[in-house]
Amino acid sequence: MTADSVPAGGDPRRLLADARALARRVRLAQQATWLPLLVLALVTFGAIPVYRFTQPVLSDCQTTATGEVCKAWFQAAQFYWWAALLLAYVVIAGGYLRIARARGLGTRVLPYVLTGVGLVVLSAAATAVWSILNHPYYPDAPPASVQLLFRLLDPTGVIGLALLMLAWLERRVELLVFTLGYLAVVLAPINFGWGVGWGPNWAFAPQLAINGGLLLLGSVGFALAQRLRRPR
């Protein structure tokens, strides 16, 4: 028998490094950033024919110095966005769970999905409140700050807000940068003059095509990046 102590394990610093490396590998294996970007891109593209082949509900039209202005409610488009986005988050949640089971891991997608659903409800509530207030500022355009808030609470805007939550959950700086870029395009519409003269039925198409294209490119980029970084 001896009183000498025997080390219970290896170098603590190495154990900590190994634990961190394992946590990083698990986090990488849990990521499926390409999936929500792909689903949301398809939803965005799907809105184009809805705006094209449906007509807004117009009321209280008035003649101004620059022409005629009306209160417009894009009824079919609004219902499309709300239904399509709610369905999209169900698909995203199911996809993440399926990927997690296939890899034998857990998933932390629920906060993102709940955030997305909550923002869709908030967007619908904002639309209802604006209607109840009978379109303040009409027939003049709302102030720039109000228009900015509109764009943020628009379906394309709440897509970006929810992606901020996903960037935090997945601890991905790249997704944060991508999302901020996406929000910049949504909040300060960038269409390069594309679609001018196409007529009112195509008015939303250029911006939606750009927004959806950005999401689709992001999906492809993150899928390729994940494939290259996947632990062997």
**Average pLDDT of the residues in 136-153:** 86
Position 211 scores a pLDDT of: 96
Which one is predicted more confidently, 177 or 97?
177
Position 51 scores a pLDDT of: 93
The DSSP secondary structure of 150-191, one letter per residue, reads: HHHHSHHHHHHHHHHHHHHHTT-HHHHHHHHHHHHHHHTT--
Position 105 scores a pLDDT of: 63
Measure Cα distances from 184 to 44, 67, 118, 148, 177 in Å. 17, 31, 22, 11, 11
d(C-alpha 188, C-alpha 206), whole Å: 14
Position 114 scores a pLDDT of: 96
Residue in the block written with tokens 């250029």: 206
Is 93 within 8 Å of 108 (Cβ atoms)? no
Which one is predicted more confidently, 1 or 154?
154
95 has pLDDT over 50: yes
Pick from 80, 31, 8, 10: nearest CA to 226: 31
Give the range among 12-21, 71-80, 98-107, 197-206 with minimum mean pLDDT: 12-21
125 has pLDDT over 70: yes
190 has pLDDT over 70: yes
Which one is predicted more confidently, 150 or 18?
150
38-71 pLDDT, tens digit per residue, is 999 999 999 999 999 998 887 777 777 666 777 7
Name the average pLDDT for the chain.
Answer: 83
209-220 pLDDT, tens digit per residue, is 999 999 999 999
Position 44 scores a pLDDT of: 98
Position 218 scores a pLDDT of: 96
CA atoms within 13 A on the CB side of 83: 9
Is 178 within 8 Å of 218 (Cβ atoms)? yes
At 9, is the pLDDT very low, low, confident or very high (cuts 50, 70, 90)?
low
- Kindly tell me the burial class for residue 228, based on how many C-beta atoms sit within 10 Å of its own C-beta (0-12, 13-18, 19 or more): exposed
**Average pLDDT of the residues in 186-199:** 75
Pick from 33, 26, 23, 39: nearest CA to 174: 33
176 has pLDDT over 80: yes
- Which pairs with CB-CB distance under 8 Å and at least 24 residues apart come from 153-156? 153/122, 153/123, 153/126, 154/123, 154/186, 155/47, 155/81, 155/82, 155/85, 155/120, 155/123, 156/44, 156/186, 156/207, 156/208, 156/211
d(C-alpha 44, C-alpha 80), whole Å: 10
